[in-house]
């Protein structure tokens, strides 16, 4: 039992404490409640989002293969691919707030950067990708093509590369469907590239989904089980060591930090003109995180209310409503402001209301 064995005395007094166990909090939330809430978020929100993203990528790949097969390069099929890319990207933004565990896998080569390079530091690599596509689709031999494809880095792959491939033609960056279609019809390498880049994305989507549900980093255990059962540090030497609820809270906070800090509405999903719908998916996912689903027994909002932090719940609802209004109005300035407010909520109000400690404030200059 962790408790003081001597009370804090005056200046220069000393206290002795033992390691581990217990809680000094006056709030009612216990680890069991938080663990249950985290388990339900993982089971009802994160894993379903991971499954949906994998399924959408898989469908994108199969649609691409069908489109590229003989006599199938029609306007209708191009539209189907474009729509499938939109659905895939929406599914990604539903999952994107949960950037930990199987979304990362490796600190040096995190899985997510092969899906969404912009998420890392807000870099817009549209020009790089265009240049690479230009080069790849004119390669003379299969060997040259394979070599060039193998050399594509994370910033040249993922959803943005596929968006550029299906929403514009490489020759003139035309977004007219007829131009795009003609290029696919006349340039077999572009179809080959579409399929290959889709398959590379599918590998990453599989990694995420399989990591959550089957086998995380060759442990033979799903990340779900490892994180819920607090076994990550047992199985892995390099887990950062937070509980499931902390990982979730920090990850969503970092997502809103990303929205507030990076120029998302002007850099992401531009050719498809779908960034606002994508951000709406992230917001809906956040609402679900807090409110729960029909299958939820204990939501975070309920825990916060039980802890008499109704004001925090109200504040969150207000800030999410503000964000939704900004998304509806497609107002970047208001979107950034609302995202920053939510970033702060996930840093302060939510941890306080849940009685979880996310760490110290190591600010510049320390």
Partner 1 sequence: MKINASRRSFNQALLSIGATAPMLSHSTWDLNWLGLDNIPLANEYWLSAQGQSQDQYGLGWVDSRGEKLSQVSTQFRGHGFCQNPKQLNHIIMFARRPGTEGIRLNLSSSKIDGAFNSAPDRHMHGHGCFSADGLKLFCAESEISTGKGKITIRDAQSLSLIGEFDSYGIGPHEIAVMPDGNSLVVANGGLLTHPDSGREVLNLNSMRASLAYIDIHSGELISEHVIPEKKASIRHLDVSNDGTVAIALQVQRKAMGHNKLTPLAAIHKQGQEIMLLQAPATLLSKLNDYMGSVKVNNTSRIAAFASPKGNLAMFWHLDDLSLQGYHSFHDVCGLTVSQDNKYFVLSNSTGKIRQINAVTLKLDKERSLSFPHTRWDNHMISVLSSNTK
268, two tokens? 């992401």
Contacts of 239 (CB under 8 A, 6+ apart): 232, 233
DSSP for 74-118 reads -HHHHHHHHHHHHHHHHHHHHHTT--SGGGTS-SSS-GGGGT-TH
Question: Which spans of this chain sit near partner 1 (rule: CB under 8 A)?
Answer: 2, 8-24, 107-110, 113, 120-123, 233-234, 237-242, 246, 357-360, 362-366
Nearer to partner 1, 66 or 121 (CB): 121
Nearer to partner 1, 34 or 170 (CB): 34
Rounded Cα distance, 300 and 249, in Å: 11
The helix/strand/coil state of 157 is coil
Contact between 89 and 278 (Cβ < 8 Å): yes
For the CB of residue 22, give the shortest distance to partner 1 in the complex, in Å.
Answer: 8
Nearer to partner 1, 72 or 231 (CB): 231
For the CB of residue 128, give the shortest distance to partner 1 in the complex, in Å.
Answer: 14
For the CB of residue 40, give the shortest distance to partner 1 in the complex, in Å.
Answer: 23
Nearer to partner 1, 190 or 204 (CB): 204
Nearer to partner 1, 165 or 336 (CB): 336
For the CB of residue 106, give the shortest distance to partner 1 in the complex, in Å.
Answer: 8
For the CB of residue 240, give the shortest distance to partner 1 in the complex, in Å.
Answer: 4
For the CB of residue 204, give the shortest distance to partner 1 in the complex, in Å.
Answer: 15
Which of 334-343's residues contact partners 24+ apart within 8 Å by CB, and which partners?
Answer: 335/259, 335/265, 335/279, 336/259, 336/260, 339/256, 339/259, 339/260, 340/256, 340/260, 342/256, 342/286, 342/316, 343/253, 343/256, 343/257, 343/259, 343/260
Rounded Cα distance, 337 and 48, in Å: 29
Nearer to partner 1, 137 or 154 (CB): 154
């Amino acid at each position: 039992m962790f408790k003081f064995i001597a009370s804090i005395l005056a200046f220069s007094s000393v206290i002795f404490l033992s390691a581990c166990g217990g809680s000094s909090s006056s709030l009612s939330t216990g680890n069991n409640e938080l663990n249950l809430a985290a388990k339900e978020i993982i089971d009802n929100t994160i894993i379903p989002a991971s499954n949906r993203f994998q399924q959408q990528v898989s469908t994108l790949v199969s649609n691409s293969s069908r489109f590229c097969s003989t006599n199938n390069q029609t306007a209708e099929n191009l539209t189907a691919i474009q729509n499938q890319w939109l659905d895939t990207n929406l599914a990604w933004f539903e999952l994107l707030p949960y950037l930990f565990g199987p979304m990362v896998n490796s600190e040096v080569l995190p899985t997510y950067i092969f899906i969404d390079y912009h998420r890392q530091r807000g870099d817009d690599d549209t020009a790089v990708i265009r240049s690479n596509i230009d080069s790849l689709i004119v390669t003379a031999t299969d060997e040259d093509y394979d070599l060039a494809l193998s050399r594509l880095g994370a910033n040249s792959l993922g959803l943005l590369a596929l968006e550029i491939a299906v929403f514009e033609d490489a020759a003139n960056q035309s977004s007219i469907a007829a131009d795009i279609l003609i290029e696919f019809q006349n340039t077999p390498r572009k179809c080959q590239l579409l399929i290959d880049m889709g398959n590379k994305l599918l590998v990453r989507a599989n990694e995420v989904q399989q990591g959550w549900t089957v086998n995380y980093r060759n442990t033979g255990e799903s990340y779900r089980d490892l994180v819920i059962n607090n076994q990550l540090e047992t199985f892995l030497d390099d887990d950062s060591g937070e509980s499931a609820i902390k990982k979730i809270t920090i990850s969503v906070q970092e997502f809103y930090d990303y929205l507030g800090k990076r120029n998302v509405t002007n850099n992401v999903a531009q050719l498809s003109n779908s960034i606002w719908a994508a951000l709406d998916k992230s917001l809906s996912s956040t609402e679900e995180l807090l409110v729960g689903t029909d299958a939820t027994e204990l939501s975070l909002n309920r825990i916060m209310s039980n802890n008499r932090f109704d004001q925090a719940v109200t504040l969150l609802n207000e800030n999410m409503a503000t964000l939704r209004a900004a998304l509806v109005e497609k107002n970047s300035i208001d979107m950034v402001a609302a995202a920053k407010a939510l970033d702060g909520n996930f840093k302060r109000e939510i941890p306080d209301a849940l009685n979880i400690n996310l760490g110290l404030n190591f600010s510049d200059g320390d």
